[in-house]
Amino acid sequence: MVLAGMFESNGIWFLGQDGQSPCLIRQDGLLYPSLSIEDREVLMMVLHAQHMQALETPNGNWGTALATPRLGATEVTVIHQRQQPGGFNPLHRQSREEVMVMLVGEVTVSQGDERVRLGAHDTLIMPAEILHRVDNTGDVDAEWLIISPAGMRFFRDTGEEASPPWLK
């Protein structure tokens, strides 16, 4: 059963043609996508991996949105980043604190003259508004999660706002 105004796209239920506010509700013991959460118990959202899309960005990078406002997250943004050996994220800053959790590989994060190596299972907490760069200094693809409060914005070292496609 599908409630009026709902549609499915790539395995995610949305309401309205604007593609916003995916959620599941429990009604009469069954799970349904919902346009409104009034008078209903809101349950978890499930975004299956086979429906996620890695988007290539310059310099040997791919990003996959795991939790963003477009996908229904309201408090946090989570991005899976992958970078080929020799790849890099150029000098940039973001408007909100960023937590980087390494999954695989090795990167070097530069902030001014300071350099730090991160390997699998290491975590970096980068304060807001700090210029930094990430380079894959290993021999294999590096993968990590970027976790930040919703509404994070990226800026190049020139001050120009960047808009990575995976952040939307």
Residue 2's pLDDT is 42
Range of the domain at 113: 52-167
Radius of gyration (Cα) for the chain, nearest Å? 18
82 with 158, same domain: the answer is: yes
Are 118 and 124 a contacting pair, CB within 8 Å?
A: yes
Task: Give the SS3 label for residue 151.
Answer: coil
How far is the C-alpha of 164 from the C-alpha of 58, rounded, in Å? 10
- Side-chain-side CA neighbours of 3 within 13 Å: the count stands at 18
pTM: 0.74
* pLDDT given for residue 163 in this prediction: 84
Question: Consecutive sets of 10 residues in the chain, 168 residues long: mean pLDDT of each?
Answer: 47 45 51 51 68 87 89 88 96 95 98 96 97 97 96 92 79
pLDDT value of position 3: 44
Q: Say yes or no: 61 and 114 in one domain.
A: yes
- 60 and 84 both lie in a single domain: yes
What is the domain count for the chain?
2
Contacts for 167 with CB less than 8 Å, ≥ 6 apart: 63, 65, 68, 77, 79, 152, 154
